[in-house]
Amino acid sequence: MTIKITKMEDRLPVCPYCEKELNEIYFRAKGLGYIEAQHDVYFCPHCRKILGIGTSRMM
C-alpha cells in the first residue's frame, strides 16, 4: 500500500482544536541545541493548544 503526498499551496491547515485556519504556527524552544538537546513545542496562535513536539540533538 502506498500513500500519496500532494503539495497544496492554495489551502491552509486547520487547527484540530479551534478549527481556525493556520497561516502561522508558533513555537517555543528549550535547550541550547548544540550542547544539549533542544525541545520545541509547536502551538496554535489562536487557542494556544499544542500541535506537536519535536526534539533535535547535535552530536
The tens digit of pLDDT for each residue in 9-54 reads 999 999 999 999 999 999 999 876 566 778 899 999 999 999 999 9
Domain map (residue ranges) of the chain = 28-56
Q: Where are the beta strands (DSSP E) in the chain?
A: 26-30, 38-43, 50-56
> To which residue does cell 502551538 refer?
43
How confident is the model at residue 22, as a pLDDT?
97
Q: Is the pLDDT of residue 1 over 90?
A: no
**pTM recorded for the entire structure:** 0.75
